[in-house]
């Protein structure tokens, strides 16, 4: 048995867990629909990036394929097989649960045959353009070029000259389904709504001679979304990215998703016309682009949603007029989305105009559009503060946003540095330097991006500190980013790519030594992805020496847990719930002593070797204990946790006997809600 699960198949296991949330009848109806949208969006990106990469490897030499350790085309076929099974489950929950549920709730999603009433036809005709963009086989124009993510309706017009396409006869036509200033849905006054796809089906059957609704099928094309930037670029990176972004929608086809009712002979013709390989044809349902369901029913229907969990005010950091003083008193921990993200924004607003602040430095990976944080940095620059920002232009799918941020900051007078060859800056850092004699510097170290919007959805923690040993280390990292100084030697921070792997390996080896001496040794590791073979091997070795290894992994997990002779002492769970688990927290326990780290990095080769990442030790005992207890709480989840043990992979961890139900995300929220104003440290 291969000691490692395949990365791509492990990602599909993760997306299956997303699908499980759509299947889970404990979730309200619109939440289940939301998870269908997430599943669809995830799969689109997977094909645009990961499968695109695999397909490009199909053309390398046999020698290089042997180095890979797998056959790319064979892996693509296995991916297709597993995706087919997931798509079948996806279609089943949509047809058998979501559609009946919407009907019962009085917001029916209408089928094409329910659109014939005069009032509905009038609304449809008013919504759609008078002239639909239709391509016909008998016309003089070349077939339409489909951009990445574009969907068209493939139709057969009967009674034409092209009679040998299908046993029923017919001319092949394609109608685009993207319309300016229109959403994917048409809403009616009685609360019902329909897909634009079905509205077009109805209109075509009425306007176009020989077109019947049963002979219309939707297909969607995904393309390679990688910008394929050379690592050792010498030209202006921003200029190169601006140029490459224009080509993203026209990359190599990676998947054609098609309606399973489409006759094979028609599918073959479509593949030929669109220049798509048969291997890239993926069986789908009648409708594609389920990510369009995001926000479709955002208002009303509260009974069909989760009960709101409004962000809680932090018991200490919510006092905006004394933020710096409160941070200098003691380290503070902010846990979003349970707690409000306002303290991060307010701190930067506060220091932007303080006379004793000389410099603000920050890393940017992904920020929200119209970011208040970027606005605060611009204000600081306008008030004469020195503002330095490292903007990572290679953050996938945020390149255009980050180019805009770069321009905005420079216009305000900030100093901006951008990406470097062969490495990404993924660390989440802020350093605020005060004038001499004005008090200690302040730093923020976070597991998540400085992004107000994702802070309402992503489960992350941010450390606010004025400890000189930490702020000095953060300053050294910024000196390296700004001046391209030698890689910093830090006293407390573990910084990739030089020290992060070695630091974690030291912690693991120390636990191994303790376990061999008969002392208690345990680690609790919470991350998004576990993929690095060297670190996985270290966990296997620790397990063999008697170290208890408890892992909480949201996404990719290439480690095999609970395998006799390999990983008996390793337990892995994965939690999917209301918030996206995004924090990275690492706890190492040895005979009653604990070391707790927060980090920007997962245990992936790219994070250890090809990114600048930071792990910060949590030196405040009460905060460290709070994080440890949080991980213990997650490990006790028996409502939304799944086991990733080999013999019960992706099965829910069910409570047994009289054991109380534990839903970790809700329990953590209730714990933070119960803190009083005086509980300054236990709050985080």
For the chain, the structural domain boundaries read 7-304, 320-491, 500-673
Q: What is the mean pLDDT of residues 557-578?
A: 97
| Residue 44 pLDDT grade (very low, low, confident, very high; cuts 50, 70, 90) | very high
| pLDDT(232) > 70 | no
CATH of domain 7-304: 3.30.1840.10
* 24, 121, 636, 639, 651 from 659: Cα distances, Å: 21, 56, 10, 12, 18
418-436: average pLDDT = 93
Q: Calculate mean pLDDT across residues 311-317.
A: 95
CA–CA distance, 368 with 458 (Å, rounded to integer): 13
Name the CATH superfamily for 320-491.
Answer: Endonuclease Chain A (3.30.870.10)
Measure the CA dihedral 505/506/511/517, to 10°: 120
Compare 604 and 299 and report the one with higher pLDDT.
Answer: 604
Residue 273 is encoded by which pair of tokens?
A: 């016309």
Same fold, 320-491 and 500-673: yes
C-alpha dist (Å) from residue 333 to 352, 456, 509, 553, 585: 22, 16, 29, 22, 13
Which one from 288, 314, 426, 582 is the annotated catalytic residue?
Answer: 426
Q: How far apart are CA 71 and CA 74, in angstroms?
A: 5
**CA trace torsion 328, 343, 460, 378 (10° rounding):** -100
- Summarize pLDDT for 590-628 with one digit per residue, the tens: 988 999 999 999 999 999 999 999 999 999 999 999 999
**Which one, of 137, 139, 140, 142, lies nearest residue 163 by Cα?**
137
Residue 161: band (very low, low, confident or very high) from pLDDT cuts 50, 70, 90? very low
Per-residue model confidence (pLDDT) at position 422: 83
Residue 246 confidence (pLDDT): 65
59-99 pLDDT, tens digit per residue, is 666 777 677 778 888 999 999 999 999 999 999 999 999 99
Q: Bigger pLDDT: 320 or 445?
A: 445
The candidate with the shortest Cα–Cα distance to 361, out of 441, 439, 424, is 441
| Residue 221 near residue 255 (C-beta atoms within 8 A) | yes
Angle 331-585-504 from CA coordinates, rounded to 5° = 105
| Residues 455-472 pLDDT 10s | 999 999 999 999 999 999
User: Other CB atoms closer than 10 Å to residue 404's CB: what's the count?
Assistant: 14
**Using 50, 70 and 90 to split pLDDT, how confident is the model at 664?**
very high
C-alpha–C-alpha distance, residues 555 and 68, integer Å: 22
Name the range with the highest mean pLDDT among 230-239, 387-396, 563-572: 563-572
DSSP state at residue 486: S
**In this structure, what token pair is assigned to residue 403?**
């180019």
Percent of residues, the chain, with pLDDT higher than 70: 93
- Bridge partners of 443, per DSSP, are 431, 465
* Rounded percentage of the chain residues whose pLDDT exceeds 90: 72
Residues 238-251: what's their mean pLDDT?
A: 67
Total residue length of the chain: 684
What's the rounded mean pLDDT across residues 6-28?
A: 98
Residue 408 has pLDDT above 60, yes or no: yes
| Average pLDDT score, the chain | 91
Is the predicted pLDDT of residue 234 greater than 60, yes or no?
Answer: no
Asked if 74 and 279 count as a contact pair (C-beta separation under 8 A), the reply is no
Alpha-carbon distance of 83 to 374, in angstroms, equals: 40
Given pLDDT bands bounded at 50, 70 and 90, which one contains residue 242?
low
* 397 vs 491: which has the higher pLDDT: 491
Report whether pLDDT(432) > 70: yes
pLDDT for 159: 63
CB atoms within 10 A of CB 432: 28
With beta carbons less than 8 A apart as the criterion, state whether 275 and 253 touch.
Answer: yes
Distance CA(384)–CA(355), nearest Å, equals 10
The whole model's pTM is what? 0.92
Quick check: is 426 catalytic? yes
Give me the helices (H) in 98-236, please.
99-104, 118-127, 196-207
Residue 368: which pLDDT band, with cuts at 50, 70 and 90? confident
For residue 115, count CB atoms less than 10 angstroms from its CB and return exposed for 0-12, middle for 13-18, buried for 19 or more.
buried
Structural contact between residues 42 and 18, judged by C-beta atoms closer than 8 angstroms? yes
pLDDT surpassing 60 at residue 682: no
List pLDDT tens digits, range 95-143: 999 999 999 999 999 998 899 999 999 999 999 998 899 998 888 788 8
Cα-Cα-Cα-Cα dihedral of 90, 18, 291, 526, to 10°? -160
Taking a C-beta distance cutoff of 8 angstroms, is the pair 333, 344 a contact? Answer: no
**Could you tell me if 556 and 532 are in contact, meaning their C-beta atoms sit under 8 angstroms apart?**
no
- Which superfamily does 500-673 belong to? Endonuclease Chain A (3.30.870.10)
Report d(CA 209, CA 206) in Å as an integer: 8
pLDDT at 677: 45
Backbone angles phi, psi at 570, to 5 degrees: -110, 125
**Kind of pairing between the strands at 494-495 and 458-465:** unpaired
Contact (CB, 8 A) for 625 and 524: no
End-to-end CA distance of the chain: 43
């Amino acid at each position: 048995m291969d000691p490692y699960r395949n990365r791509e198949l492990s990602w599909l296991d993760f997306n299956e867990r997303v699908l499980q949330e759509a299947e889970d009848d404990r979730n309200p109806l619109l939440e289940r629909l939301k998870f269908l949208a997430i599943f669809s969006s995830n799969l689109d990106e997977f094909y645009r990036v990961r499968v695109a990469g695999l397909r490009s490897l199909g053309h390398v030499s046999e020698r290089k394929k042997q180095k890979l350790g797998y056959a790319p085309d064979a892996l693509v076929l296995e991916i297709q097989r597993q995706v087919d099974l997931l798509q079948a489950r996806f279609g089943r929950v949509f047809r058998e649960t979501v559609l009946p549920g919407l009907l019962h709730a009085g917001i029916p999603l209408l089928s094409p045959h329910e659109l014939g009433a005069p009032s509905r036809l009038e609304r449809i005709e008013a919504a759609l353009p008078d002239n639909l963009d239709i391509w016909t086989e008998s016309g003089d124009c070349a077939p339409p070029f489909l951009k990445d993510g574009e969907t068209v309706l493939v139709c057969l017009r009967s009674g034409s000259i092209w009679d040998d396409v299908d046993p029923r006869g017919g001319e092949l036509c394609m109608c685009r389904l993207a319309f300016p200033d229109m959403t994917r849905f048409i809403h009616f006054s009685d609360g019902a709504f329909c897909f634009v796809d079905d509205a077009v089906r109805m209109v075509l059957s009425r306007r176009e001679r020989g077109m019947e609704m049963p002979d219309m099928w939707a297909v969607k094309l995904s393309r390679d979304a990688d910008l394929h930037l050379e690592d050792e670029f010498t030209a202006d990176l921003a200029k190169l990215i601006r140029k490459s972004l224009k080509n993203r929608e026209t990359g190599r086809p990676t998947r054609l998703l098609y309606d399973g009712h489409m006759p094979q002979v028609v599918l073959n013709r479509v593949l030929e016309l669109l220049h798509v390989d048969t291997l890239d044809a993926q069986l789908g349902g009648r409708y594609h682009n389920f990510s369009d369901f995001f926000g479709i029913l955002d208002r009303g229907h509260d009974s069909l949603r989760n009960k709101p969990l409004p962000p809680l005010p932090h018991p200490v950091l919510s006092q905006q007029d004394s933020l710096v003083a409160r941070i200098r008193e003691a380290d503070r921990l902010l846990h979003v989305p349970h707690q409000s993200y306002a303290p991060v924004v307010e701190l930067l607003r506060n220091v932007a105009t303080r006379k004793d602040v000389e410099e603000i430095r920050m890393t940017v990976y992904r920020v929200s559009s119209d970011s208040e944080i970027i606005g605060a940095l611009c204000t600081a620059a306008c008030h004469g503060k020195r503002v330095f920002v490292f903007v990572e232009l290679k953050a996938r799918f945020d390149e255009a946003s980050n180019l805009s941020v770069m321009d905005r900051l420079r216009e305000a007078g900030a100093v901006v540095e951008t990406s470097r060859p062969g490495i990404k800056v993924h660390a989440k850092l802020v350093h605020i330097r005060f004038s001499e004699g004005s008090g200690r510097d302040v730093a923020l170290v976070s597991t998540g991006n400085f992004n107000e919007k994702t802070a309402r959805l992503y489960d992350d923690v941010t450390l606010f500190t004025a400890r000189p040993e930490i702020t000095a280390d953060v300053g050294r990292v910024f000196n390296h980013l700004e001046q391209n100084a030698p890689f910093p030697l830090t006293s407390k921070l573990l910084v990739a790519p030089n020290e992060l792997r070695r630091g974690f390996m030291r912690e693991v080896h120390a636990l191994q030594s303790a376990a061999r001496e008969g002392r208690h040794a345990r680690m609790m590791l919470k991350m998004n992805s576990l993929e690095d073979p060297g670190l996985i091997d270290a966990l296997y070795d620790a397990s063999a020496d008697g170290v208890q290894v408890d892992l909480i992994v949201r996404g990719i997990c290439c480690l095999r847990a609970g395998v006799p002779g390999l990983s008996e002492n390793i337990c892995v769970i994965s939690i999917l719930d209301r918030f996206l688990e995004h924090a990275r927290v690492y706890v190492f326990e040895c005979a009653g002593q604990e070391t707790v780290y927060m980090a920007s990095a997962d245990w992936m080769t790219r994070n250890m070797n090809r990114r600048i990442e930071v792990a910060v030790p949590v030196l405040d005992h009460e905060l460290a204990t709070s994080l440890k207890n949080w991980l213990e709480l997650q490990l006790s989840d028996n409502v939304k946790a799944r086991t990733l043990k080999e013999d019960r992979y992706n099965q829910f961890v069910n409570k047994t006997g009289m054991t109380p139900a534990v839903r970790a995300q809700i329990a953590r929220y209730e714990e933070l809600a119960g803190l009083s104003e005086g509980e300054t440290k236990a709050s985080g």
